[in-house]
Structure 1
Amino acid sequence: MQNQIRILSTKKLLSNQKQFLLNANFNLLEADFIKTESKPFEINTINDNLIFTSQNAVHSVLENAQELLTNLKEKNVFCVGLKTKALLEENGFNVIANTGYASDLAEIIALIYGKESFTFFSGNLRRDTLPDFLKEANVKFNEIEVYETHLTPQKITTPLDGILFFSPSGVESYLKENKIKKEICFCIGNTTAEALEKTTNNIVVANQPTVENTIIQCINEYK
């Protein structure tokens, strides 16, 4: 490779994830464009089933609802993301439905479990997709905000060939200080890609909504 491909990851990668890009002889920059933190919360009502759409929500419940964990683990869980599912199961939760996207999960709940009730553990910047779908389908649910996402924008002055994006919030944060010109944007999923549609057409979406698959798409693009 004559000129090293320059890739920015909009979140700091794990060492094994980073290694994929370094082994491909890419020049990698990393910066956390969002920061998430658990927050204290009260649980007044717990419905029959639980919904988690991120690992952040799981971590917060494990940290902040310890006195209720025995009760919570008796509930069936619906979640988004394989890593969210793995984290839940590692901690003794019973996951009965898992999808890659919130929209797919909402559809399964409405079509198959519409007569049951749900408690959705969410973050402050969550998308409206799932709650709106459940409301329209008249599914009974309550929502408890258990973590916060903060944008941490920063200016990138290095010329880039590609950018890895992992959430709509990461896109929003990046665009506060930077413009996208000819860079190819590699997105973890369709929701993240949608956040870029008014900005660029140079978008590649991962086949599976995982960090690893996003990285693989990036490597394949420049092979």
Structure 2
Amino acid sequence: MTKPIHILSTKKLLPNQKRALLDANITLIEEDFIETKIKKFELFLRGTKQSVVNDNLIFTSQNAVKSVLQHPKCSELKNKNVFAVGLKTKSLLEENGFNVGVHTDYASDLAEIISLIYNKEQYTFFCGNLRRDVLPTTLKENGIKCDEIEVYETNLISKKVPHKFDGILFFSPSAVESYLKSNTIKNEMCFCIGETTAEALEEKEINNIIIADQPSVDNVIEEVIECYINQHP
């Protein structure tokens, strides 16, 4: 008899995503290890019509887009050039009337493109409190003006997980940090949405990692199913 496979997802999945795992006879437990909250922020100097936003906007997450969309003056940003990380971030922006001129899968790639090709421009980076350093640091090192506006915050929800799992699904470096605050990883296979998330594990000397071909939740699930179907045909 085939040994049952038990998977932990460090975020709640959509019904169709859960169904794909269940149809493959993979048992799933879900726990949110991070939460995000929208923050209030200003687009204009208080009491004036003077914008604090540069001509080029940078978004590296859907959470930042969702926060900006709720600002009452959001429409005044839609004539600006937009640089985005992630296909879903790009799609969300375009669905809401923004013009995304450049998009990449990773912030490091975007930082390189801006530094090489668009280095005469000035940028405003809409980000969260736990944003990674690579993009703003790279731009600063290349003398490129990049102001940051914090539009959401990520909070860790660390909790002890008593069960033993064959695999763990990680979708952000913050989720890795949150999970490892209360748990250890030994032989569990770690399925990561992208290279940045995998690097957060590697920094903790965890190397039993599979990275999705494309940085999306659906691709992570495909990697899980492929891994265990091949292992237990």
The TM-score bracket by the shorter chain reads over 0.9
Matched, 1:176 2:181: yes
For residues 199-214 of structure 1, the aligned pairs below 5 Å read: 199-214=205-220
Residue 3 of structure 1 deviates from its aligned partner by: 2.1
Which structure has the larger Rg?
A: 2
What is the alpha-carbon distance in structure 1 between the residues aligned to residue 228 and residue 179 of structure 2?
23
Residue 176 of structure 1 deviates from its aligned partner by: 0.8
Aligned match of 2:118: 113
What is the alpha-carbon distance in structure 2 between the residues aligned to residue 176 and residue 144 of structure 1?
28
For residues 83-122 of structure 1, the aligned pairs below 5 Å read: 83-122=88-127
Aligned match of 1:216: 222
SS at match of 1:138: coil
Aligned residues: 221
SS at match of 2:152: strand
Residue 49 of structure 1 deviates from its aligned partner by: 0.7
Matched, 1:56 2:63: yes
Contact 1:21 1:215 in 2 (8 A): yes
Residue 43 of structure 1 deviates from its aligned partner by: 2.2
Output the amino acid matched with 2:196. T
Contact 1:162 1:185 in 2 (8 A): yes
SS at match of 1:146: strand
Aligned match of 2:48: none
Output the amino acid matched with 1:15. P
Output the amino acid matched with 2:29. L
Deviation per residue, 1:147-174 (Å, 9 max, x gap): 0000001111111000000000000000
For residues 46-195 of structure 1, the aligned pairs below 5 Å read: 46-63=53-70, 65-67=71-73, 69-195=74-200
User: TM (normalized to structure 2)?
Assistant: 0.93
Deviation per residue, 1:67-88 (Å, 9 max, x gap): 2x22200001100111111110
What is the alpha-carbon distance in structure 2 between the residues aligned to residue 43 and residue 141 of structure 1?
15
What is the alpha-carbon distance in structure 1 between the residues aligned to residue 117 and residue 110 of structure 2?
11
Output the amino acid matched with 1:170. A
What is the alpha-carbon distance in structure 1 between the residues aligned to residue 157 and residue 53 of structure 2?
33
What is the alpha-carbon distance in structure 1 between the residues aligned to residue 170 and residue 56 of structure 2?
31
**Identity score, percent:** 65
Aligned match of 1:5: 5
Aligned match of 2:49: none
Output the amino acid matched with 2:4. Q
Residue 101 of structure 1 deviates from its aligned partner by: 0.3
Aligned match of 2:40: 40
What is the alpha-carbon distance in structure 2 between the residues aligned to residue 46 and residue 213 of structure 1?
35
- The CA RMSD measured in Å over matched residues stands at 1.0
What is the alpha-carbon distance in structure 2 between the residues aligned to residue 70 and residue 123 of structure 1?
21
Output the amino acid matched with 1:22. L
SS at match of 2:201: coil
What is the alpha-carbon distance in structure 2 between the residues aligned to residue 211 and residue 200 of structure 1?
21
Residue 12 of structure 1 deviates from its aligned partner by: 0.2
User: TM (normalized to structure 1)?
Assistant: 0.97
Unmatched runs of 5 consecutive residues or more in structure 1? none
Output the amino acid matched with 1:43. L
**Deviation larger for 22-31 or 199-208:** 199-208
What is the alpha-carbon distance in structure 2 between the residues aligned to residue 145 and residue 200 of structure 1?
31
